Structure 1
């Protein structure tokens, strides 16, 4: 039996192609043009997942979200907020849970499927460990992998006496890439540390320098995930210089332990695994990963 998805969005230029794409992928799709209609439609069709816009006429997404979460029939239904609203604003206004996800518009079909497939295709189980493993295996085999990108100008302070980026400053770009990848999903390092007492310190890192970049060059920093272990995450990075015709200038990686506030290893939470799954690109790991940097190691 096909899974049912409800799209609640007033922008038909987005709804129509998304509906067609989901239906061609095997889903049964229903649509509503505003929050009020969305709540009623959810009660009627009992969808397996809901894609919800934030700002709509005739009842906004926040009101619809609160109504859906107060209804026993949809209290645990996965809800994907698809909105142009900044992630920080959504996080502040939405009281989210492990079944709530955030995607920033414009959102492609592959991104939607990257979240829906592992969510709706995973076997039901009472074991968190089995559930987490099933989610990741499904994501690795079916979800369309992607990467996060951001652009940054090389500041004068980032260069050395020769006028090129000082070698250690590439790690700053890598760190910003990791942070912005999480932020694009509605997750902030600060929230993980303060609210969930969850920390992801670097235990291993490396960088290969391919070509020099200079002051005021425009860089594109690309970030993805090559592996999520039982209690670890490995990020990969590539940096391109648009002032050098888009040439690759550096590659790198960082491996992180997942620990609590007592600095003891803990499992990667299942909801975080699900959220990160679309960014996993198994095998997309630079040879730099075989180089050991001599950093302090933590058993993970």
Structure 2
């Protein structure tokens, strides 16, 4: 059976979102939002804030494994923080070489590192040697910074550093999130490497997934923005793979999730945070659903938590 991964979208997939989405079924593994590493070792409290699942065996309440993702440009500090993550119970460490955000790239992190295969190798190699061999060390990359032909060299560097697998977002940094995703590079990478590859990019529905499988022939797939517009995509893909009836994507199915998400986000941080995150999710849902868009257009201007929650409940229960 193919494995499906929830993407570690920064500012989106926090503990509450991971908990909410894994409760729906179909997700085999999660990765945290990135923990930014500069030149120091983070205190344990930072790890627990980033990944509360460390307190529950590095799994969500629904049993889904969670890896801790680290981002940075200095190998030794990354290795020290990887060691601490594992000591606290992380089931694996993922290294972020894919974030396209300008702020991150200006500060020597994310996709900016794709300019140098040597640096990618050094970071993965140093982290791999710092943690026990039985704990997976993985890497998430793009096809390159601005040249997709670099993807083979980058993947070879990750393999030579003995990573357990690599997730490939099939666009360059300069592509950003602009369609399409260039899945056709994955077979080319496979010709030159033996590393397990997780395909990522532009999977919005079961049909997209099937086309991605046809092109890449991977065993594993990661989905990000697609699940924000359709929370049931993982379950639908698993139903399709099992040749079972595939549930509908509908506002009726999705809307009960929002009040629960608001309450959980309030408990996790505070009610103003909950307003912001719930608006964010509702906006994503509205991209593919007119009923969700009508609700979003009505309540997006509301800023007071009590007023926002009252209107949210009115439209979703």
Query: Do both proteins adopt the same fold according to a TM-score greater than 0.5, normalized to the shorter chain?
Result: no
- TM-score tier after normalising by the smaller chain length: 0.3 to 0.5
TM-score, L = length of structure 1 = 0.33
TM-score, L = length of structure 2 = 0.32
Of structures 1 and 2, the larger Rg is shown by: 1
| Greater share of residues in helix | 2
